[in-house]
Amino acid sequence: MHRRRAPRSVCRTLGTSSKTPRLTMSDPIAALRELLSESRVLEQADDLEHYGRDWTRQFPPAPRAVVLPETVEEVQALVRWACAHSIALVPSGGRTGLSGGAVAMHGEVVLCMERMHRILDFDPVDRVLHVEAGVVTEALQQAAREHGLYYPVDFGSRGSSQIGGNIATNAGGIKVLRYGMTRDWVASLKVVTGNGDLLELNRDLVKNATGYDLRHLMIGSEGTLGVVVEAGIRLTEPPPELRVMLLAVPDMDALMRVFGVLRARLALTAFEFFTEQAMGHVLAQGGQRPFEGEAPFYVLAEFEAPDERAQEAALAAFETAADEAWVVDGVISQSQAQARQLWHLREGITESIAPHTPYKNDISVRVSRVAPFMADMQSLFDREYPDFEVVWFGHIGDGNLHIGVLRPEDMAMDSFTEACGRVTGLLCDVLEKHGGSISAEHGVGLLKKPYLDRVRSPHEIALMRQVKAVFDPHGILNPGKVFD
């Protein structure tokens, strides 16, 4: 981290709270305890291990301490404390990211938002729910249901991911095809900058043509420009009854042909795919195979089914695909319980392969380029990963693919990461050819940082650095993430 003493006007005090002490430059952690109390400054080894990492396992956590603020004012005070002592902060939510964006490995202080988990208020006219950054995604979805409405951004980590982290990475998930990304549902933000200033962005307005929309600059910035402390989240009407169709697909070329047939005839809310290897890992942890035989690929399609005609359309679409030999078997859910069982085959993949400490690529291309990109990618992996098991799955309906390379038990982590990094560099060549991105929905963090210049021009990166310097002039917010 670039270390630089902040101006006297910024660093004289820790904040405006009645608990604010004068800074003691010789003992910064003592100042933290005075600010937050002993119980909210964690220094035990198991706490540092737990809070210092996300779902990646390539980077050993080594934070200096973990702090647990409970108010916006405390977050501001903590940022000013960090400025005064030139100590980096790593904002932390549910830590479900897969790019190392929430890893603290160089003596940073983890700024954990889990105690800022209040649902603040709801405006029934604007249909906006105001929440603190530590609200868990599933709790936000439940709050929407209690108001007869729907929050559609959804993913397998809904029970542990937090809305602040979702915003920081512009999380997508399984319903992007129908509802878009997190960005599309953020009506307003409160953000603490690297100076400790509080920005109130957009104030829930639908139309606001008054210059740059800094709200959207913060979304996806991975905690490098500011700390999201509160958000106004738009809600929408609940969908009609949803059905899930699981199809066995004989080859890669048929995947997008099936997508074309279903998209033309059904109101799709999700279109996912995974391989037989992926299903095998999920079933190894329990569950029943939905088909008698095996297929190399599977498609999971969720669609709105408000009446009999929708179900008839789904069956007709299946028959068309079967006649063309694009599918070899299929099932359609007839209850919510059956739909959950089918979804588990897709959503259980990440957890099922976690014991193998996978190296994960989260990539995207335009939907029109998915088929040729996958063919090129398969050739690359067959050539470069002959001894590794590669598990494919993802949100293929919006062009997002997840690739999990599983570490052999007898291979050291350093050697494994080096081998995977070399192939990821080659994967960037394929992405450049097809105009894709090295990160679709998990950010850049530490894992994808070496490849940023493969998908962003030098001029773009230079502008990003200038933006970073404006919002975080002391370089204390998640330094080393996205770029050095």
| 390 touches 381 (CB < 8 A) | yes
For 4-42, letters b (16+ CB in 10 Å) and e give eebeeebbeebbeeeebbebeeeebbebbbbbbeeebbb
For 109-145, letters b (16+ CB in 10 Å) and e give bbbbbbebbebeebeeeebbbbbbbbbbbebbbebbe
Cβ neighbors of 218 (< 8 A, separation 6 or more) are 167, 189, 191, 201, 225, 226, 228
pLDDT at 133: 98
CB atoms within 10 A of CB 44: 10
For 439, the token pair is: 């990160």
pLDDT at 57: 83
Point out the residues of the chain with pLDDT beneath 70.
Answer: 1-26
**pTM of the predicted protein model:** 0.90
What domains, with CATH codes, occur in the chain? 8-113+466-471 (3.30.43.10), 119-234 (3.30.465.10), 242-350 (3.30.70.2190), 357-442 (3.30.70.2740)
Task: Quick: pLDDT tens for 374-414.
Answer: 999 999 999 998 989 999 999 999 999 999 999 999 999 99
pLDDT at 26: 62
Neighbouring-strand partners of residue 302: 244, 270
pLDDT at 287: 84
| Sequence letter at residue 480 | G
Cβ neighbors of 367 (< 8 A, separation 6 or more) are 256, 397, 398, 399
Cβ-based burial of 338 (10 A; exposed 0-12, middle 13-18, buried ≥19): middle
Reported residue count of the chain is 484
d(CA 317, CA 314): 5
CB atoms within 10 A of CB 367: 17
Neighbouring-strand partners of residue 22: 13
* HSE-up (13 A, CA, CB side) for residue 94: 25
- The candidate with the shortest Cα–Cα distance to 76, out of 26, 107, 49, 116, is 116
